[in-house]
Amino acid sequence: MTPRHPLTSGRAGAASAALALVLASAATGSPVSAAGGEGADVPQSTVYRSVAQFTTAGKPRDLLLHPDSKKLYVGSDDLPDTADVNESGLHVLDPADGKVRSTVDQAPGPTGTLGRRSVRQLLAPLPGDGAVFLYPLRGIGTAKDGDAAAAGAWVPGAAVTHATAGLTPSTVLVAQGPVLSEVDIATAAVKRTVTLEGGDGFAVDAARGTVWFTDLAHRRMYRIDAASFQVTASVELPAGEGFGGFTEVDPETGAVWVGLDSSVVVHDATGKRLGTVRGAGGDMPRAAVFDATTHQAFVVWQDAGDGSQPGTDNDGTLTVHRTRDLQEVVKSVVLPGLHVQLGGAAVAVEPGGASVFVSDPVAGRITRLERATSPRVTRSPADRAVTAGTEVSLTAEAEGVPRPTVVWQVSTDAGRTWQAVAGATSPTYTFTAALSDNGRRYRAEFGNDAGVGRTAVATLTVTIPDPTTGGSGGGPSTTGGTGSTDGTGSGSTGSTGSSGSTGSTGSTTGGSDGGSDAGSGGTSGAPGSVGGASTGATVGGGNHTTPSGGALASTGATVATLAGSAVVLTAAGWVLLGRTRPRTTG
């Protein structure tokens, strides 16, 4: 049985329809009454929703989603009081469920002795699989999934305060305070060095041969030419409290994003100021990453975690911005409990932006968020014009992530208000049209976690069927014809019967030669269908056959010879004429 919309005539029908509508609305989560409008009026939206939390990698300090192997690399410290073993090291996770594939927790010390090492920064992916990483105090290590221990070497000099990928695949850049050095990965040998007035963090624009180094104490940013390894320009940063979150370069445009205090200041590849991105509630920007497929920047903001500060709520946020105009393109995602008191967060993005991973060092967890897009209608139902009693099918389609559900809606007031159709939760809605459906409007509403999408409206026109073309209904039936007195009468053809009518029986009184057999009446019309044609009775009634040897139709009387038959027919004709002659008045 196909679902039928609940708006029926009569009090009992209306009551049962209302109950069905309420039950359907409760089951589907759809409102009993929806907003008006002509459909297809809801813009598509995108949100990110938390779908999983991984607590299997100690205290996460940095994240790297490997572009080739697709594995999630996590650099971690130990998280005290959460396990019986030290959880620091390089963890390799399955990004789908957070299951630990392997942990590399041994790396060489300054003398080459292997020991348990925490991993502070993930600097670059290795070809195929694995990562280059920084471990305290001056270690540059490499390892991949399944390795028993990492390879590593120690940079000479002071403790490394910041590091990132180098200008070539075989090098990394390290900062030891204001000293920036290019270092060989395998040996940690220093190849080139430049000393600045001050420095905190930096980013590399390999495509343009530039390194940008921020100096928060002097509120400046230095541009270093990769070829000469010399400072070629400096850019003034806005005044502030001196808190720095990150320095990152958009590989596509070369724009430099610098987290300062409670905002992100953006400059183009030449150092020209493009604009400022601000967070909500005074949260501080702590990490950023760019997705070249969507041309978007993902920024993680952490709460100060200080109850004495205005706007502190201990919750952080994730924001997503178009890189070309800095506009926020996704509703901010609240990250509960994310604050800076126990370390900075990190972020990794799957190419294309379908999944985002955010670390929380305070809680010792990694949150996986998935993008959800509200339904986009790809097919709307078409207007239909049918006769009553016709089966009608309306079809709609939409796409979205996650896969949207559908509820059909009907309007009886020209689209001003809408009601859900009980049980109509499939892309195709089929029902039998009634005259009371004429003028009703239908639409499908698709929904998922990101919002709703409505189709354009289809109007249903229902008409009374034409009786001459085989539709249902029609005029009343007539009685069968009256048999003649001599048994040769034939019933008249019954007119089209009304729905479910029965043709009456026509009877004749047999003549003197034909007996008194009753003529057969017209056949009755089938209930609900076209009435059958009434068939007149044969002469004399009964079942008779044509005499052998002749083509003369049976008259209903048995005759011995052809001559006798002629006499009988002549007499019968005289009597018939006599009876049908009109009477004249004197």
Give 537's pLDDT tier (boundaries 50, 70, 90).
very low
- For residues 162 and 155, the answer to whether their CB atoms sit within 8 Å is no
Residues across the chain:
586
Amino acid found at 501: S
The span from the CA of 157 to the CA of 389, in Å, is: 90
Q: What percent of the chain has pLDDT over 90?
A: 66
The span from the CA of 381 to the CA of 441, in Å, is: 10
Question: Which has the higher per-residue pLDDT, 418 or 26?
Answer: 418
SS3 per-residue string spanning 514-557: CCCCCCCCCCCCCCCCCCCCCCCCCCCCCCCCCCCCCCCCCCCC
Q: Which residues are within 8 A (CB) of 368 and not within 5 positions of it... i.e. 6 or more apart?
A: 50, 51, 52, 53, 54, 95, 98, 355, 356, 357
Give 310's pLDDT tier (boundaries 50, 70, 90).
confident
Q: What percent of the chain has pLDDT over 70?
A: 72
Give 85's pLDDT tier (boundaries 50, 70, 90).
confident
- What pLDDT digit, counting tens, does each position of 448-499 carry? 999 999 999 999 999 999 888 655 444 333 333 444 434 344 443 333 333 3
Cis peptide before 402 (omega within 30 of 0): yes
- The pLDDT score that the predictor gives to residue 526 is 35
In 342-474, which ranges are E strands? 347-349, 355-360, 365-379, 384-387, 391-395, 397-401, 405-411, 418-420, 428-432, 441-448, 451-454, 458-463
The span from the CA of 46 to the CA of 75, in Å, is: 30
The span from the CA of 69 to the CA of 95, in Å, is: 11
**Main-chain phi, psi angles of 563, to 5 degrees:** -65, -45
- The pLDDT score that the predictor gives to residue 306 is 84
With vertex at residue 166, the alpha carbon angle to CA 162 and CA 167, rounded to the nearest 5 degrees, is: 140
- The pLDDT score that the predictor gives to residue 467 is 82
Give 240's pLDDT tier (boundaries 50, 70, 90).
confident
Cis peptide before 552 (omega within 30 of 0): no
Mean per-residue pLDDT over the chain, rounded: 79
Q: What is the mean pLDDT of residues 508-521?
A: 37
Q: Which residues are within 8 A (CB) of 527 and not within 5 positions of it... i.e. 6 or more apart?
A: 499, 500
Q: Is the pTM of this model over 0.75?
A: no
